[in-house]
Structures are given as structure tokens and as C-alpha cells.
């Protein structure tokens, strides 16, 4: 009951701030439309407005006229982040503390069952209950074993999706030819001539919105796979970046950091994390052979082209909303599910799943990743990458655009936030209700806090703590203090490593571990982490929950 009262108080106080904070709506104005765009494996610095040399004019424009967030967090990996943003809960509470698929989950352990639980509700279900027309287009990845796990069974009235994770951008194929079909409104659908994944996801988003009921606001959950591997991009987009990366990762990372400092996104007092965290796995660019330099520059050209195409499609969606006279009253939230991807981490130059038997990188017959070398650039200035709880794994860009509802245009929010806050914010802005029961199941209270006061230049309520666990990578953030630990890359039998302590106000790049100097603070935060872990269902060692 206490959680329910707190949730109601947060919702109504947050709504009052929006209502009386400067938004001028007519008495008969409908609730805002809401579009959530979740990119896949996009690094913190991969947009122009976050420091990149990649051309992202459409997203940069949304940030210029909206709010840009510097301290927003995800859940470190595809599946957990999707579970969290969809439900307003931590991934374990939603049933996806690990991944989907039988080899990376355990149906007998609710926190790691590998699909959304029945005691949670999705944004599709909640927004539909509150009068919204709900659509989903793109990567689902929160349950793929049965129809009951799919978006059309979890509140989305229209859907175009692939249930799993990675796959070709040009077809439904995996590297070995195994099919990963799309599903259109519950019916399996094969790609057509000229198919390209990012285009298709946005094309179906626009189609579903064009066919919407005239009398309902809409909620769209848009989840392109870009720029997740494989490195697949159109030749005309790749051509834009020819030669841009010939200078190498060290030079590009330095330029991005300088731009971030210039933009005020990072402090000049934060030292950029050293290349490859100082372990020597990623070599200096000038030590590479000319052939290796050409190979790796080409990979980053394709990656940049994938991001470029993603931005083009955001622009296409914005143009449609303007054409429909819906743009001004549509809140667009753009963010990423985790930090940039270094998979496989033991191969700094990336993986070629076709073992040299595919075509040129970027083509439909290739199937490659760009590796740890470039992932560290994408996550500038932070340490590590996707699946770690260090800042490089969990920090996401977040852009909020809502011309009619944001008066603090062009502002930067430096308060911490998390994916769990998206549900609370959506309900706050539409004066919505969150169910205590749904389809006969008692529903867990949502965890998040609305960040809508930021839209009027106000302060949002700070979370008491934020915490993470994924394959024994752990972390907790309490004010300026962050406790974090990493495991090795053997995810099947991962065990937690030693704790590290950082003052993020002074050192967000996590370069000066204070754990040995401040054992009392470590003990305090360990206690807080243990309380959180017990509450959400964390099991410390991966082997323990995998064997149950």
C-alpha cells in the first residue's frame, strides 16, 4: 500500500508540474502522443549531439529543440533493457535478468525465466488501458518461445517484429542461413526485394500510424536493430564515410572527447578511460599493418552508415508526424538499450561469422562485427561496453522532443535516470492509471519516477538508488557514489568480481578506484546492493541459477 500511495503522489505531483508549468493546451486537447525509439547497441558518443563525427542532423535537431540527458541509464544489454523499459521494473522483476532463449535462461527461476512474467504489465497494455492506440515495430527480444510472449499478446494492437536478437539487415537469415522470420500482425512475414531492416521498421511504424483511429492518441514502441552487428549498410550511406576513419580509433576517440567537453556533456576533469582499459588487448592504431588499418577503417565506415541510416529514418518519421499535424503534440524519446558492443570481447578486431567466405564488409553476403577497438570509441569517454555495469555499458543518450510540451528547449539534464522511469513518465503526462491487477494477476508496483518536470526546466525527484546485475556484473548508484564489479567474459559460469568504488561527480570515467581508501563507504553500499538484489530476485553466481 505504501508503494501505491507513493506512486500516486509522484504521478499527481509530476502532472501538476506539467499542467501548471507552462504547457498551453486547449480544454479539449487530447493527451500527448508518445513515440519511444530504442536503438540497439548505440554507444554514448555515437550521435553528433553527443560528440560524434557521424551525421545525425535529425536527432541533433530534436535535441536542440528538446532536452538532452547526460546521466540516463539502461540495463546493460538488449533483453534486460527491453524488459525494463516495457514494464517500468528492473529486469529481474520482469523475468529477464539474463537473456531469452533456453541456453541463457531458466524457467524455474522467475528472475531469469527469459520472458516477461505475468505479474508485470507492458507499456502496450498500460497505455491501451488508458485509451491509447498502441503499436510496436522492430526487435522484440523479451520472449520468443510461444505466441503468448509476443507483442500482439502483450497489449500492442499492431505489430511488426522479429522475436529474437541479431540477424541480417537484408533478409531473415542468420550467418548460417537459419531463418529468423518477421511477424506482421501475428502472421509470419518474409522480406521483399529491396528489404533493409531499419527502413522496414520505420515504414511499418508510419503505416500503422497512418491507419490509426482518428479519435485516439497513439503510443509507438519503435525498436530498430541498428547499429547492432552484423555490419550491414547501404553502399550510398557507406560512401559518405569513405576515409573518415583512416586516422584510427585513437584520433577519433580524442576528437569525440574534445567535442563532448566543448558541448558541456562531460567534465574536462574526467580523464578519458585508457585504451582497452590498459590491458593491451587493443593496440595503438599506428602499430597496425596497412592491411589491418584498411580493414578496420572499413568496418567503422559501415557502422557509421548504419547510424546515419537510423537518423534518416527518424527524420522520415518526423516528416510524417508534421504532415499529419501531430508532431507538436508528440513526445519522442530516443535512447539506446546498452553501451556499444564489443562482442566477442576476446577478439578486439571483431568477428567474421563467415570466416572469410562472405563478401565485402557491409554487403548482404557478409556477417561481421566491429570489435572492442571501435566499441571503446563509441562509448567515449567511459570504460567498458555492453553487458558490463561500468559507465560504458549502462550509459545511454536520451533525447526528448515535444514541441508543445517542452518549454526548456535546448536544455541539458544532468540528473540521473533509468529506463524504469519511462513508464512513470508516460502515465504522468497522460494522467493515466497503473493497474493493481491485470488478467487475474496481481501486478508489481512500477519502480520508476517521472522525469516530466525536466521538460519545464524543473528538477525531477532523484532516485534513492539505481542498481544493476547481469551475468554477475553488478553495480549500485547512490547519489554521487557508485559501487561496481565485473566478472570475466565466461557468461555461462560467471562469478562476481571484487567491488570498485567511484565518486562520479569527480570521476565518471571510473579511473580512480577508492574502495581500499573508503572501506566504510563500500560496506554501506554493499548493504544497499544486497537489499536491492534480494528484493528483485538476483542470484549472485550465474551457475547457481542456470543449474536450478
3-class secondary-structure state, position 44: coil
Given a contact cutoff of 8 angstroms between Cβ atoms, the answer to whether 329 and 26 are in contact is no
Q: Quick check: bond before 8 cis, omega within 30? A: no
What strands lie across the sheet with 473-478, from one edge to the other?
A: 466-470, 473-478, 481-485, 500-503
DSSP tally for the chain: helices H, then strands E? 14, 17
Q: What is the pLDDT of residue 102?
A: 67
User: For cell 564489443, what's the residue?
Assistant: 342
Known active-site residue 247: no
3-class secondary-structure state, position 466: strand
Q: To 10 degrees, what angle do helices 2-20 and 421-429 make?
A: 50
By C-alpha distance, which of 206, 150, 215, 153 is closest to 182?
A: 150
Can you give the pLDDT of all 548 residues of the chain as single tens digits? Answer: 334 333 433 333 333 333 333 333 333 457 999 999 999 999 999 999 999 999 999 999 999 999 999 999 999 999 999 999 999 999 999 999 988 876 677 788 899 999 999 999 999 999 999 999 999 999 998 987 778 888 999 999 999 998 888 889 998 766 555 666 788 998 888 778 899 999 999 999 999 999 999 889 999 999 999 999 999 999 999 999 999 999 999 999 999 999 999 999 999 999 999 887 656 689 999 999 999 999 999 999 999 999 999 999 999 999 999 999 999 999 999 999 999 999 887 789 999 998 888 999 999 999 999 999 999 999 999 999 999 999 999 999 999 999 999 999 999 999 999 999 999 999 999 999 999 999 999 999 999 999 999 999 999 999 999 999 998 999 999 999 999 999 876 666 678 899 999 999 999 999 999 999 999 999 999 999 999 999 999 987 666 766 54
CA gap 179, 167 in Å, rounded: 9
Beta partners for 484? 475, 500
Task: Classify burial at 543, counting beta carbons within 10 Å of its beta carbon; exposed 0-12, middle 13-18, buried 19 or more.
Answer: middle
Beta partners for 437? 442
Known active-site residue 141: yes
Given a contact cutoff of 8 angstroms between Cβ atoms, the answer to whether 244 and 301 are in contact is yes
By C-alpha distance, which of 146, 132, 161 is closest to 223?
A: 161
CA gap 45, 406 in Å, rounded: 24
φ/ψ of 482, rounded to 5, equals -125, 130
CA gap 453, 17 in Å, rounded: 6
Neighbours of 300 (CB within 10 A): 25
Neighbours of 241 (CB within 10 A): 22
Q: Which of 55, 71, 78, 92 is catalytic?
A: 78
Torsion of CA 85, 91, 93, 99, to 10 degrees: 130
Beta strands in 439-521 (DSSP E): 441-442, 466-470, 473-478, 481-485, 500-503
By C-alpha distance, which of 120, 148, 121 is closest to 134?
A: 121
DSSP strand pairing (441-442 vs 466-470): unpaired
Domains of the chain listed by start with CATH number: 2-463 (3.40.720.10), 464-548 (3.30.1120.10)
DSSP string, 396-428: EEEEEE-TTT--STTEEE-S-EETTHHHHHHHH
CA dist 26 to 17, 127, 401, 426, Å? 17, 22, 20, 20
Q: Which of 141, 228, 232, 470 is catalytic?
A: 141
CA gap 497, 475 in Å, rounded: 11
Neighbours of 518 (CB within 10 A): 15
Q: What is the pLDDT of residue 7?
A: 41
CA gap 307, 305 in Å, rounded: 5
Return all residues near 277 (Cβ < 8 A) that are at least 6 apart: 383, 384
Amino acid at each position: 500500500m505504501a508503494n501505491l500511495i507513493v506512486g500516486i503522489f509522484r504521478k499527481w505531483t509530476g502532472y501538476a508540474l506539467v499542467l501548471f508549468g507552462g504547457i498551453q493546451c486547449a480544454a479539449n486537447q487530447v493527451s500527448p502522443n508518445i513515440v519511444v525509439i530504442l536503438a540497439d547497441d548505440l554507444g554514448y558518443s555515437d550521435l553528433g549531439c553527443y560528440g560524434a563525427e557521424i551525421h545525425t542532423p535529425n536527432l541533433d535537431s530534436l535535441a536542440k529543440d528538446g532536452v538532452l540527458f547526460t546521466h540516463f541509464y539502461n540495463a546493460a544489454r538488449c533483453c534486460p533493457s527491453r524488459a525494463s523499459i516495457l514494464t517500468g521494473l528492473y529486469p529481474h522483476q520482469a523475468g529477464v535478468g539474463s537473456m531469452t532463449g533456453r541456453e541463457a535462461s531458466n524457467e524455474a527461476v522467475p528472475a531469469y525465466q527469459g520472458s516477461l512474467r505475468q505479474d508485470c504489465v507492458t507499456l502496450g497494455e498500460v497505455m491501451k488501458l488508458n485509451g491509447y492506440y498502441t503499436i510496436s515495430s522492430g526487435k522484440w527480444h523479451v520472449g520468443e518461445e510461444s505466441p503468448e510472449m509476443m507483442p500482439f499478446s502483450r497489449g500492442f494492437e499492431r505489430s511488426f517484429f522479429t522475436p529474437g536478437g541479431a540477424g541480417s539487415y537484408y533478409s531473415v537469415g542468420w550467418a548460417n542461413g537459419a531463418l529468423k522470420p518477421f511477424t506482421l500482425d501475428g502472421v509470419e512475414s518474409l522480406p521483399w526485394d529491396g528489404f533493409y531492416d531499419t527502413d522496414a521498421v520505420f515504414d511499418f511504424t508510419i503505416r500503422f500510424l497512418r491507419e490509426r483511429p482518428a479519435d485516439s492518441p497513439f503510443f509507438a514502441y519503435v525498436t530498430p536493430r541498428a547499429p547492432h552487428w552484423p555490419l550491414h549498410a547501404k553502399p550510398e550511406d557507406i560512401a559518405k564515410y569513405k576515409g573518415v576513419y583512416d586516422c584510427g580509433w585513437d584520433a577519433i576517440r580524442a576528437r569525440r572527447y574534445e567535442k563532448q567537453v566543448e558541448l558541456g556533456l562531460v567534465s574536462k576533469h574526467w580523464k578519458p578511460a585508457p585504451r582497452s582499459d590498459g590491458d593491451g588487448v587493443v593496440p595503438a592504431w599506428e602499430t597496425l599493418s596497412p592491411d589491418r588499418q584498411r580493414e578496420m577503417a572499413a568496418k567503422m565506415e559501415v557502422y557509421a552508415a548504419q547510424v546515419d541510416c537510423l537518423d534518416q529514418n527518424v527524420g522520415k518519421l518526423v516528416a510524417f508526424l508534421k504532415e499529419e499535424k501531430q508532431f507538436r503534440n508528440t513526445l519522442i524519446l530516443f535512447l539506446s538499450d546498452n553501451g556499444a558492443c564489443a562482442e566477442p570481447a576476446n577478439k578486439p578486431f571483431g568477428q567474421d561469422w563467415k570466416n572469410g567466405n562472405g563478401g565485402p564488409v557491409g554487403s548482404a553476403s557478409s556477417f561481421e562485427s566491429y570489435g572492442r577497438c571501435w566499441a571503446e570509441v563509441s562509448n567515449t569517454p567511459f570504460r567498458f561496453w555492453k553487458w558490463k555495469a561500468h559507465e560504458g555499458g549502462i550509459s545511454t543518450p536520451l533525447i526528448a522532443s515535444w514541441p508543445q510540451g517542452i518549454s526548456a528547449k535546448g536544455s541539458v539534464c544532468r540528473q540521473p535516470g533509468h529506463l524504469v522511469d519511462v513508464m512513470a513518465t508516460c502515465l504522468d503526462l497522460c494522467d493515466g492509471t497503473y493497474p493493481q491487477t491485470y488478467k487475474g494477476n496481481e501486478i508489481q508496483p512500477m519502480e520508476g519516477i517521472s522525469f516530466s518536470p525536466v521538460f519545464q526546466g524543473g528538477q525531477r525527484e532523484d532516485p534513492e538508488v539505481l542498481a544493476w546485475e547481469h551475468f554477475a556484473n553488478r553495480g549500485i548508484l547512490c547519489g554521487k557514489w557508485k559501487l561496481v564489479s565485473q566478472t570475466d567474459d565466461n557468461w555461462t559460469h560467471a562469478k562476481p568480481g571484487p567491488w570498485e568504488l567511484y565518486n562520479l561527480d569527480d570521476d565518471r570515467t571510473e579511473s580512480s578506484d577508492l574502495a581500499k581508501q573508503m572501506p566504510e563507504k563500500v560496506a554501506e553500499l554493499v548493504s544497499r546492493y544486497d537489499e536491492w538484489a534480494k528484493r528483485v530476485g538476483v542470484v549472485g553466481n550465474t551457475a547457481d541459477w542456470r543449474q536450478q
